[in-house]
Structure 1
Amino acid sequence: MTRCHYHRSLILALSAVAFTAAWMPSDVRPSPRESSASRHSTKWEKKQRWLEKRDMRAGDSDETSKAPFATIIGNGRIGSTLAEAGNCIVLGRDDNIDENGKGPILIATRNDALDGIIEKCPESRKCDLVFLQNGYLNSYLEQKGLLDNTQVLLYLSVTAIGAEAVDGVTAYNPEGLTAATGIHAEAFARRLSHLGLRCNVVDAASFKPAMFEKLMWIAVFMLIGAAKRCKSVGQAGSEHSGLVDELINELSAAVEKREAIQFPEGTVPRLNAYTDVVSDFPAAVKEFTWRNKYFFDLGDEEVPIHNTLLRECREGGLLDFSLE
């Protein structure tokens, strides 16, 4: 049995609950390039307070006070934030991945970098790749033979490198919206917890509708915001709330029909509540192949509002891609 197959068998035996005990291989040592929260005093103080509430101290030598070791690819806003939990090595997208390394490999890059990273990854480490990207990845990952890999729905906004991360905790979902599934989901949740951020560890069946909800949030608020010349997703939600709700309902019905899944109750208020948290985020239709294309390809009969708005954006010169 290979290491990947062993891990996949093990995860099926685990309950899909948040991980509460840290683990780190004894032979793993932090790289000289390891980042720590001490680089940013405000975040360090926040982490210290968080640890104190759990009867720990950030300076403890106990292994349970450390985030599980991880390789992080990408040093942008998300990668830098994840590195602040420490006990990691940060690589560029063109750097080599250690064939003999251990632990999750967190890919914190844009979607267009995935091909190169996967191609350069040693075959024995491909099962450790963790995908954090926005958008619909299932077809892509299936083509790469990586559909069973760990995936994360990252409800996390970081406006600039070093800025305070805005967690996906809302009035409707106080437990947070970030979710992860797969063999490294628990390790990822532990890393976020060391930053005072929340992550729900779920099984694959629960992850699928959650993934489509995140995809709908991006598609709906960005599209309506662009079509109605809104500066932010918050403006789109407040000034066009009726259209937002109508489009969410249209897309959710089409997805349930296409994917044979059922969304949990509260999709509309859940997505609206998240918009309130990140209300200043600019509204623009981007990365069509990974985002709105899934819905556009469902056809005009299934998603007429969505496709009409997309064509209005095209006619208004608001798209930098073709719909054909």
Structure 2
Amino acid sequence: SMRILAGGLLLVASLEVSAAFSMPLQGSSLLARTALPGAARASRPTVALGARMAASDDDCACTIIGAGRIGSALADMGKAAGFEDVVVRRGEPIPEDGTGPIYVTVRNDDLKGVIDACPASRREDLTFYGQNGYIDGFLQQEGLKGASSQVLVYMAVAKLGEKPTDGITDLNPEGLTSATGKWAGQVAARLRGAGLTCQVRGEGPFRQAMFEKHMWICAFMLLGVHHGGVTVGEVESQHKEDLVSMVTEMQAAIEDKEGVSFEAKCPERLLAYARTVAHFPTALKEFDWRNKYFLDLTRAREADGKPDLTPLHTKLLLKARDDGHVKFD
């Protein structure tokens, strides 16, 4: 079935990124290949008059780590735009002398191996694309927070080789996919050249969008499992009140811990996205990257003698553990 690759899924609302990848990799002197002669270039994002035009504002040949649905879709976009990207598969080296972004399209648990294998001179080119859950703390530990690029991916790919379907909603027809960092402009150029949407955001707005996506997957998956494994669409249509309550609690917890302020109608935006991927199944996966974030906040507050800001999430998560849907101490 189709998955969010951003879990997103290229999720968009993927429950998990589909990219078979495990390291370690070693550095290499392989060169990224340049544009194919005579091939048409992708259309480029519009830049406001007076805005700084950097090299990263155009599409270019790049390195793609992971040859699953997400990585293959990116490579197909590049080929259509006239570029032959270097696709790094299992056990292959990351080009040391390459140029352009290094799209990282692997599962969260494989990120450490990719980072360790990346040549030091190219770490700032790492572009984390489509991972679900909260990875900011991990990137901070690796010295890459603010020193790499990130992409929240809201598009779906039914199967390997098929073109992505954009995850635009009735509330956000401009699209929800967002990029930030050094290569954000290149990401936007590639996606827009393929007829998809992409918003280039500064660190603050991107962080807000990231936490919204994090709440989406944590809340919808937990509620879906709690109600017997129903689909995302059934959570949206039949358990909307619980969803709004849980997301509202999550917002308060994130604002308290992270200092992030959310724009109005956050629950409505998440519900709207659910309607675009209504057929997606629900399951509690990648716990350490997803729901554990809110459990850790609850436990930290409890240790400080403070009340739980996400009681509904805590209650249902503990029940899910008791019922065997997820494991944690």
**TM-score computed with the length of structure 2 as normaliser:** 0.77
Shift of 1:164: 3.6
Query: Does structure 2 conserve the Cα–Cα contact (< 8 Å) formed by 1:93 and 1:113?
Result: no
Amino acid at match of 1:209: Q
1:136 and 2:143 matched = no
Query: Does structure 1 conserve the Cα–Cα contact (< 8 Å) formed by 2:128 and 2:151?
Result: yes
Shift of 1:232: 1.3
In the other structure, the counterpart of 1:105 is: 102
In the other structure, the counterpart of 2:74 is: 82
In the other structure, the counterpart of 1:258 is: 257
In the other structure, the counterpart of 2:124 is: 127
Query: Does structure 2 conserve the Cα–Cα contact (< 8 Å) formed by 1:68 and 1:190?
Result: no
1:166 and 2:160 matched = no
Query: Does structure 2 conserve the Cα–Cα contact (< 8 Å) formed by 1:185 and 1:201?
Result: yes
Query: Does structure 1 conserve the Cα–Cα contact (< 8 Å) formed by 2:234 and 2:278?
Result: yes
The DSSP-based 3-state class of the residue aligned with 2:127 is strand
Shift of 1:30: 4.9
In the other structure, the counterpart of 1:203 is: 202
Aligned equivalents of 1:77 and 1:280: distance in 2?
19
Q: Give per-residue Cα distances to partners, 1:163-202, cap 9 Å, x unaligned.
A: 3422121100010001010000010111111221111000
Shift of 1:28: 4.8
Query: Does structure 1 conserve the Cα–Cα contact (< 8 Å) formed by 2:63 and 2:88?
Result: yes
1:316 and 2:323 matched = yes
Query: Does structure 1 conserve the Cα–Cα contact (< 8 Å) formed by 2:152 and 2:177?
Result: yes
Query: Does structure 1 conserve the Cα–Cα contact (< 8 Å) formed by 2:33 and 2:86?
Result: no
RMSD of equivalent CA atoms: 2.1
Q: Give per-residue Cα distances to partners, 1:59-78, cap 9 Å, x unaligned.
A: xxxxxxx8421111111111
4+ runs deviating over 2 angstroms: none
1:295 and 2:302 matched = no
Aligned equivalents of 1:169 and 1:73: distance in 2?
26
The DSSP-based 3-state class of the residue aligned with 1:146 is coil
Query: Does structure 1 conserve the Cα–Cα contact (< 8 Å) formed by 2:150 and 2:179?
Result: yes
Query: Does structure 2 conserve the Cα–Cα contact (< 8 Å) formed by 1:30 and 1:89?
Result: no
Query: Does structure 1 conserve the Cα–Cα contact (< 8 Å) formed by 2:175 and 2:198?
Result: yes
Query: Does structure 1 conserve the Cα–Cα contact (< 8 Å) formed by 2:103 and 2:128?
Result: yes
Shift of 1:230: 3.2
In the other structure, the counterpart of 2:144 is: 146
Shift of 1:159: 2.6
In the other structure, the counterpart of 1:60 is: none
**Structure 2: tracts of 5 or more residues without a match:** 1-31, 47-57, 300-307
Query: Does structure 2 conserve the Cα–Cα contact (< 8 Å) formed by 1:230 and 1:236?
Result: no
Shift of 1:287: 0.2
Aligned equivalents of 1:213 and 1:179: distance in 2?
12
Aligned equivalents of 1:30 and 1:74: distance in 2?
21
Q: Give per-residue Cα distances to partners, 1:277-298, cap 9 Å, x unaligned.
A: 1111110010011111111111
Aligned equivalents of 2:172 and 2:256: distance in 1?
26
**TM-score computed with the length of structure 1 as normaliser:** 0.79
Query: Does structure 2 conserve the Cα–Cα contact (< 8 Å) formed by 1:94 and 1:117?
Result: no
Q: Counterparts of 1:1-324 in structure 2 under 5 Å?
A: 28-30=33-35, 67-85=59-77, 86=79, 87=83, 88-132=85-129, 133-148=131-146, 149-299=148-298, 301-319=308-326, 321-322=327-328, 324=329
Aligned equivalents of 2:137 and 2:126: distance in 1?
16
**Structure 1: tracts of 5 or more residues without a match:** 1-26, 37-46, 55-65
The DSSP-based 3-state class of the residue aligned with 2:34 is coil
Q: Give per-residue Cα distances to partners, 1:49-99, cap 9 Å, x unaligned.
A: x96xx9xxxxxxxxxxx8421111111111111111122121114321111
Between the two proteins, the alignment pairs up a number of residues equal to: 268
Aligned equivalents of 2:101 and 2:163: distance in 1?
24
Shift of 1:249: 0.5
Identify the range of structure 1 (160-169 vs 132-141) with the bigger mean alpha-carbon deviation: 160-169
Against the structure 1 CA distance between its residues 139 and 93, is the aligned structure 2 distance closer, same or farther, given a 3 Å change threshold? farther
> What is the identity percentage for the equivalent residue pairs of Structure 1 and Structure 2?
43
Amino acid at match of 1:141: L
